[in-house]
Amino acid sequence: MSHNSALFNVAHTSGNAQVTNVHGNYNLNNINHIYHIMSDKVEKIYKWLAAPDSSSNYNTARGKHHAGTGAWFLKSKQFTDWKGTPGSALWLYGTRECDDTTVNDTTLTVFWRSGIGSTAIESIRQEFTSTSGFACAYFFFDSRNGETDLSLCHKMLRSLIRQLAHQSGGVPAALMQMYGGGHEQPPLNSLQLTLQMIIESFKHAYIVIDALDECADRKKLLIWIGELFQQGLSSLHILISSRREQDIVECFESRDSLIRVSLAGASTSSDIESYVDAMLSEMARWNAETRARVKCALMEGVDGMFRWVALQIAELSRCRSPRAVEAQLRSLPKDLDGMYERTLSHSANPRDLKQLLVWLAFSSRPLSIEALADVIAIEFFPDGTTLYNPDLRYFASTDVLDLCCGFVTFSPGYGTVKLAHMSVKDYLVSDRIKAGMASHFSIVERLGHSTIASTCLTYLLHIGTFTTVNASILEPLPLASYAAKYWVPHVKLCRSEGSCVWQLMTRMFSVEGSALANWVRLEDPDVGGRNYRKPASEVAPPLHYAAYFGLEELVMELMKVKEAVHACGGLFGNALQAASYRGHTGTVRILLAHGANANAHGGVYSHAMPAATHCGHIDVVRLLLENGADVNAPAGPFGTALQLASFYGNKAIIRLVLEHGADVNAPGGRCGTALQAASASGNEAIVRLLLEHGAVRPCGSTPLRDAQHGSGHNAVVRPLLIRGEDEEDSEGSIQGTEEPEEDSDEDAGNSDTDHEGSGEDLKDADENSCGRNMEGDRAKDSDGTGMSCRESGMEISEEDTNECKS
């Protein structure tokens, strides 16, 4: 590796860990002890990074790859030059641009995902795996449904960082520096810089980015790629595939050194022909003459459209006689729009097909085939009402694959169903579909989310007909998990107060029946997952959950019940603390306007303001202070708001509470004073800020020792010494080499971004030391947005901000 490849090596169990000094911040005397600490911390770092996994798309592509396809590309001079030239970039693009009337530029994505991309990755790995200083990482963008893990720029960066870090044999110093204490999520520029530094630590780093055009915020991605081109990272080999969207063309057109490969003409014809031969060989009931006739007709009309061929073969496979095959061939649509229109308009069950396509286009995660099949069990009536009707189910869940033939792909290894191609979704939401025979299948995104939300709520109301839930009750209800976890984001995206969704939601939150209790048992915000045994007496009041998820209209409706705003219960004690913790400023404002007490005691944080402070919600903190919140109110084991903000390094909240009279030297909490909390977390800037505002050490304690022995943060020692702290113990205070306590550092940053987590860990706060308490007790949500409270901190990336505040 190059000279700047600083690592925290945790790959071996011998204890011979390699620890490189990073800017003088790691002055280590006991390698084995630090090895133990770093080994324990590595899992926390990767949980904090929360990198998505795109390997399912990669593995699916490998499984669908047809032998020989893509060989021309792997043997081409362009690919060979790219592999062998450091600092090179290759762009593989489709044959045509999209316009307002047709979508023909689908050669690339289907062709790429059918195997050539994964084959290129395999080729690189096989050739260079044994080469010292080699690494290969990939990311497959995918916008076929509403899932965000595979469609955002910062998700791609996290994934690439995770893959390259793993291949480095340890934790790269750049990642360790970005992690810090794991107090907050990094902004986009930090992720970019960290990735670039890790790339530079290798002699050759191969990056493959597939379907760049499916990145939802690709403007940011294109800016970053442009910066990479300008910097000319000598170790980087980057391969990008995309359709020829105008903004992508403009970004790449001035890059003279960019290697360009077009999927046009003869280069792809041989691959398409191989694919046709493979598919026709499976038509055992056809004779040789029929297969030859079909191949000839398809190759004449293909015009480079791989997707078009796949759809035609799917349609032809349904023909039961030579005459039917011939009739089909005589009426071949000339483009994808025509192909989609004909297939949709000929559907034998348009009601079910549309419902399935809506779910496939906008679901928040890929669905199992059983869960997808069960959405049909919800009956929609003309008056807007809905009903769970198991008689509508198909006899076999796999029957939905026949109904959706040509529009979906099924991954047996994962058991999930997805749209076969992004062009399917593009067509369904376009204006082009509205004027043709398939207009019934036109989908408006907001109404699509309304359909999904209605289905989820109807499903949960049916589950509410049971007095409790358990595995045997849920076994025949495969959509239960999805409905419980994701109905909230779908409700927010449809924004339809007066609709069927509103009626269903108010029914579920009524005190009658078991719908609310059973939903909580399926997806309990207090534990971040199922809690089947939760007694009804421990289920919080309806307003608590409405406030937690920021459902403002529902909050106002529920407050029509007398004294509802003061009702107690749940992990957070009351609705105000729940909304404050989640950062729902609008909900907090509504609750305060209806008489909620800003100083109401109860819940894991004791008061609302520490809950908001813990998660970095400065607007909520400000609003609470304006409504009389006690700035110095203790939060049990967490201390005051100032102590929490000091530990987590939130300068803005520290300044705000100091302006409102926070006692800078107030004792309390596991860490003691704010200065001790900042020292324990190793935040030099916060230590300086507190010292400037009159912070002093408490009698009998030394912030210097908190900095040295509590977390081993030498950088914090300097301002404390300059300030004169620990004067009587200055001898040996820097040079003291006594070994820190075993779990003083390994438990710092014990928070993670596991989306199944919750605030449950907060209950054990009193049992923990300062670092473990403040970090390990940071709560996480379970509203289906996949956001933890740390992700809603002050330096959250822009993409996550909207999700967290929703």
233-272 residue pLDDT tens: 889 999 999 888 889 999 998 888 899 988 765 567 777 8
Domain locations along the chain: 7-49, 55-261, 268-303+305-334
| 226-230, 257-261, 510-514, 773-777: range with lowest mean pLDDT | 773-777
Q: What is the pLDDT of residue 641?
A: 94
Q: What's the rounded Cα separation, in Å, for the pair 648 and 683?
A: 8
| Strand intervals (E) in 181-297 | 204-210, 236-242, 259-262
Q: pLDDT: is 739 or 560 the higher one?
A: 560
pLDDT of residue 765 exceeding 60, the answer is: no
Whole-number Cα distances in Å, 424 to 22, 100, 307, 421: 50, 15, 10, 6
Q: What is the pLDDT of residue 50?
A: 93
Q: pLDDT: is 561 or 760 the higher one?
A: 561
Q: pLDDT: is 376 or 731 the higher one?
A: 376
Q: pLDDT: is 716 or 179 the higher one?
A: 179
Nearest residue to 425 via CA among 523, 349, 357: 357
Cα dihedral 213, 214, 218, 221 in deg (nearest 10): -90
What SS3 class is residue 733? coil
* Model confidence band, residue 30 (pLDDT cutoffs 50, 70, 90): very low
pLDDT of residue 66 exceeding 80, the answer is: no
Q: What's the rounded Cα separation, in Å, for the pair 752 and 764?
A: 16
Q: What is the pLDDT of residue 24?
A: 34
Q: What is the pLDDT of residue 503?
A: 93
Q: For residue range 624-633, what is the model confidence (pLDDT) as tens digits? A: 999 999 999 8
Q: What is the pLDDT of residue 342?
A: 92
Q: What is the pTM of this model?
A: 0.76
Q: What's the rounded Cα separation, in Å, for the pair 10 and 18?
A: 8
Q: What is the pLDDT of residue 525?
A: 92
Q: For residue range 404-429, what is the model confidence (pLDDT) as tens digits? A: 988 998 988 889 999 988 889 999 99
pLDDT of residue 581 exceeding 90, the answer is: yes
Q: What is the pLDDT of residue 701?
A: 53
Q: pLDDT: is 497 or 457 the higher one?
A: 457
Mean pLDDT of 711-717: 47
| 27-36, 643-652, 679-688, 773-782: range with lowest mean pLDDT | 27-36
pLDDT of residue 22 exceeding 50, the answer is: no
Asked if 97 and 85 touch (Cβ cutoff 8 Å), the reply is: no
pLDDT of residue 345 exceeding 80, the answer is: yes
* Model confidence band, residue 275 (pLDDT cutoffs 50, 70, 90): confident
Asked if 764 and 778 touch (Cβ cutoff 8 Å), the reply is: no
Q: What is the pLDDT of residue 763?
A: 38
| 22-36, 39-53, 222-236: range with lowest mean pLDDT | 22-36
Mean pLDDT of 24-31: 34
Q: What is the pLDDT of residue 233?
A: 84
Residue 27: is it exposed, middle or buried by C-beta count within 10 angstroms (0-12/13-18/19+)?
exposed
| 595-599, 658-662, 699-703: range with lowest mean pLDDT | 699-703
Residue 264: is it exposed, middle or buried by C-beta count within 10 angstroms (0-12/13-18/19+)?
middle
* Model confidence band, residue 706 (pLDDT cutoffs 50, 70, 90): low
Q: pLDDT: is 13 or 167 the higher one?
A: 167
Q: What is the pLDDT of residue 546?
A: 98
pLDDT of residue 782 exceeding 60, the answer is: no
Q: pLDDT: is 3 or 393 the higher one?
A: 393
- Average pLDDT in the chain: 80
pLDDT of residue 683 exceeding 50, the answer is: yes
* Model confidence band, residue 231 (pLDDT cutoffs 50, 70, 90): confident
The alpha carbon of residue 158 and the mean position of all alpha carbons in its chain are separated, in whole angstroms, by 10
| 199-208, 516-525, 739-748, 773-782: range with lowest mean pLDDT | 739-748
Q: For residue range 494-550, what is the model confidence (pLDDT) as tens digits? A: 976 558 999 999 999 987 889 999 999 999 999 989 999 999 999 999 999 999 999
pLDDT of residue 368 exceeding 60, the answer is: yes
- Residues contacting 179, CB < 8 A, separation 6+: 45, 48, 49, 749
- List residues bridging with 387 in a β-sheet: 379
Q: pLDDT: is 16 or 250 the higher one?
A: 250
Identify the CATH assignment for 55-261 out of 3.40.50.2300, 3.40.50.300, 1.10.287.1080, 3.40.190.10.
3.40.50.300
Q: What is the pLDDT of residue 60?
A: 67
| 9-13, 160-164, 199-203, 412-416: range with lowest mean pLDDT | 9-13
Q: What is the pLDDT of residue 8?
A: 44
The residue assigned the tokens 């927010």 is 492
pLDDT of residue 719 exceeding 70, the answer is: no
Nearest residue to 12 via CA among 173, 175, 169: 169
Q: What is the pLDDT of residue 61?
A: 63
Mean pLDDT of 185-208: 94
Q: What's the rounded Cα separation, in Å, for the pair 164 and 170?
A: 10
Q: What is the pLDDT of residue 552?
A: 96
Q: What is the pLDDT of residue 573?
A: 96
* Model confidence band, residue 131 (pLDDT cutoffs 50, 70, 90): confident
Q: What is the pLDDT of residue 304?
A: 67
Give the DSSP letter string of 465-519.
TSSS--HHHHTT-TTHHHHHHHHHHHHHHH--TTSHHHHHHHHHTSSSSSHHHHH
Mean pLDDT of 560-572: 93
